Amino acid sequence: MKTQVTGVKTQVIVLNGGSSSGKSGIVRCLQAVLPDPWLALGTDTMVDAMPAALQASDAGIAFGPDGGVSIGPEFRQLEDAWTEGVAAMARAGARIIVDEVFLSGAAGQQRWRERLDGLGVLWVGVRCESEVAAGREIARGDRVVGMAAAQAELVHRGVVYDVEVDTTRTESLVCARTIAGQVR
């Protein structure tokens, strides 16, 4: 586990993990345990804000029957504007927790690094065994079956973290406390 540079105030916490890995639960617990107010924003927030026509198209985002996710040029353009807006909120003084899925692994993290340059960022990997995430996915009933298994390792390829947590057998609150211990 690598820790954040001492003395740099954390302004943004980026949680990266596959679908149904437990990120949303950790975000809610972080908001409860951190002493200051933190905004929670995530890739789902952005997708929900997109026009319906882009939520199932080659130009936007498309979910395959096997759980695969395809990203098109219009999605990427909106994502660039969205990440720039998140960074602007942090620069304006908001503390932000980002619930993200780096479908392109290290390239996804690099896009965020560029946007968040100069800000205090804590990079968090949220891992969960594929079988456990797949079970959660079925229980949720609001995801394409197969997405959790497809993303479990893919989203972590080449990504560098300050701290990692594993929700396979660890509750969200325990994970949140581990992460909060790294916030400066």
Helix (H) or strand (E) holding 136: helix 130-140
Active site residues: 44
Contacts of 18 (CB under 8 A, 6+ apart): 101, 128, 133, 147, 148, 150, 151, 152, 153, 154, 155
Distance CA 20, CA 71 (A): 19
Q: How far from chain centre, in Å, is Cα 89?
A: 17
Cα separations (Å) of 44 from 9, 47, 55, 105, 158?
A: 27, 5, 11, 17, 23
